[in-house]
Amino acid sequence: MKTLRVFVPTPLPEELCELIERTEPRVEMVRDQALLPPQGHPGDHRGDESFTRTAEEQVRFEKLIDSADALYGVPDQSPSQLKRTVEANRRLLWVHTTPAGGGGQVRAAGLSQEQLERIAFTTSGGVHAQPLAEFAVFGVLAGMKDLARLQNDQRNRTWGERRTLSQMSSATVLVVGLGGIGRAVAGKLAALGARVIGAHRRQVDVPGVELILPMEELAQAVAGADAIVLCLPSTTATHRVVSRTVLESVKPGATLVNVGRGTTVDEPALVEALAEGRIGFAALDVFDTEPLPADSPLWEMPNVLVSPHAAAINDNEERLIAELFATNATRLLDGEPLRNRVNTVEFY
């Protein structure tokens, strides 16, 4: 290919469209900002949920989609729109999903094997690793330093008891899932002096990780950990892999942090473990159902920190995704393998 016609069907600031075109001049970024919802915050790829298009605008929107060689984002972040697009646009070669877990959007679209083979799907994996790793460290430290008790004492104007607190330098932390996020988490924890062990589906070389256990031994792995950080994608294999059995095996009082996907945890079993004190503290950025339902017990549990799936949001996110897209556009045009290609069997 000599040029690549890319349509932007998801909110993206104009300056980043121009950045991609400057970085890879063979790319034409086709966009119509009037057809896209306004962003509510930096990195908002869905936009204002109250936004609607007229029938005429929707026709124009879909015509632009169907004229593209590639898409920067799934249209309206909608799997059903992705399916319509793939069926209508035979020239489509590549779809870049803006979430790190964009494989879930591809899976939800229910595409045929021929369609999955014809089109390359990529994700923004790796872009969010550093901010999520910082949140993970924050969560581990919050548990070790008994943040919940300190906040409760402060609200009640209570000069609390002087108690011993756990130290990172004498703690064992289990990182479950050693992809890009898990690697970043492990590196930061090891730098703070923790003994870091991992659980992963295969043996990999990760700096700072002393030992890697297979996922089949997760129940044994959690038994020896002072803190557990979940960095798993949402796949068929990871669905509720942190099961009731696993949660019943944790070291009493352990801290749990989840910066992966909420579907990887048996949430009712987690609530029970928190209520019983088997999990001493949990810092959760993701949940089985999002937004977290108003009647979820997690909202009111004193030993839970609820984050609205926002730990990855930062001022650099959109620029880093745009730079990743430009790099992959060059690779596509030059016939080289794309980075972050979606595994269309397990969809991660």
* Catalytic residue annotation: 261, 290, 309
List CB contacts of 25: < 8 A, sequence separation 6 or more.
none
The span from the CA of 23 to the CA of 4, in Å, is 13
- Cβ-contact 46, 24 below 8 angstroms: no
3-state helix/strand/coil string of 89-145: CCCCCEEECCCCCCHHHHHHCCCCHHHHHHCEEECCCCCCHHHHHHHHHHHHHHHHC
Q: Which residue has the tokens 């159902």?
A: 289
Q: How far is CA 269 from CA 217, 250, 257, 259, 294, in A?
A: 19, 12, 15, 18, 18
Token duo for residue 239: 């669905």
